[in-house]
């Protein structure tokens, strides 16, 4: 669906479609030097994923982009991510 775009991108929601975490959704919140920072849905927890591993998952259809989130929803998820980060 979004194959013409360079992924991963902020404001996009990604579905894990196979493996141990099948059924979870990932909302990209931050990009760091070696990791992407995601808020995982529906568990509402923060997860860091290595950039190379995430690229591998995209290339091998383990993870697929689902939709671009509306700004208000994305901003809410970013605030939840920050809250989780402060309250570890």
State the Cα–Cα distance between residues 3 and 81, nearest whole angstrom.
27
Asked, for residue 4, whether it belongs to a domain, the answer is: no
Q: Give this prediction's pTM.
A: 0.88
- In the 3-class helix/strand/coil scheme, how is 60-86 assigned residue by residue? CCCEEEEEECCHHHHHHHHHHHHHHHH
In this prediction, residue 63 carries a pLDDT of 95
Domains: count for the chain:
1
Asked, for residue 2, whether it belongs to a domain, the answer is: no
State the Cα–Cα distance between residues 10 and 23, nearest whole angstrom.
20
Asked, for residue 3, whether it belongs to a domain, the answer is: no
Asked, for residue 82, whether it belongs to a domain, the answer is: yes
Asked, for residue 60, whether it belongs to a domain, the answer is: yes
In terms of Cα–Cα distance, which of 33, 41, 52 is closest to 81?
A: 41
Which range of residues forms the domain containing residue 71? 12-86
Confidence class of residue 71 from pLDDT cuts 50, 70 and 90? very high
Q: What is the DSSP letter of 2?
A: -
Average pLDDT value for residue range 40-62 = 95
The CATH number for 25's domain is 2.30.30
Asked, for residue 55, whether it belongs to a domain, the answer is: yes
Asked, for residue 7, whether it belongs to a domain, the answer is: no
pLDDT cut 70: percent of the chain above it: 94
């Amino acid at each position: 669906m979004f194959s013409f775009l360079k992924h991963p991108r902020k404001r996009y929601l990604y579905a894990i479609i196979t493996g141990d975490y099948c059924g979870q959704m990932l909302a990209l919140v931050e990009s760091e030097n070696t990791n992407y920072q995601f808020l995982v849905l529906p568990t509402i927890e923060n997860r860091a994923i290595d950039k190379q591993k995430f690229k591998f998952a995209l290339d091998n259809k383990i993870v697929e982009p689902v939709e671009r989130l509306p700004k208000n929803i994305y901003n809410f998820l970013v605030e939840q991510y920050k809250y989780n980060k402060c309250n570890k």
